[in-house]
Amino acid sequence: MLDNRLKKIAELVSGNGIAVDVGTDHAYLAAELINSGKCSRVIASDVKEGPLDSARNTVDKYGIQDKVELVLSDGLENVSLDGVSDVVIAGMGGETIADIIGAVKIDSIDKMSIRWVLQPMT
């Protein structure tokens, strides 16, 4: 199901808590993290409804509706980071990734305790 890029990203997720996939598109990463047993819960977010509809199809296909929460969100704006161990931001520009991280409103110690898996395209 995953291409080599997403396989490598999945390997980098710690699996020590909840993972967040920002800009999820089809929720392939979320499905892999759940189906492999690496994560017991994943929050998959996207800024547009279209990608979330595609993500919903993947979640339904694999029957993981109780383990993957789909959230309409600009970056992490509508995502609670309580209990989150990993945030994946992949497949977008480096400037966008920096903006998403910069907008996180938690104290810097909490921000540092999260594993940030970043894969910029530019």
In CATH terms, is domain 4-120 a member of 2.40.50.140? no
Give the Cβ contact number of residue 74 at 10 Å: 14
Q: Distance between CA atoms of 51 and 23, rounded to whole angstroms?
A: 8
Helix or strand holding residue 11 (H, E):
helix 4-12
DSSP, residue by residue, 66-101: TTEEEEE-STTTT---TTEEEEEEEEE-HHHHHHHH
User: What does the pLDDT read at residue 44?
Assistant: 98
For 66-99, how does the pLDDT look when each residue is reduced to its tens digit (9 = 90+)? 999 999 999 999 999 888 999 999 999 999 999 9
For 1-36, how does the pLDDT look when each residue is reduced to its tens digit (9 = 90+)? 789 999 999 999 999 989 999 999 899 999 999 999
Q: Both tokens of residue 75?
A: 């970056």
Q: Domain-by-domain residue ranges, the chain? A: 4-120
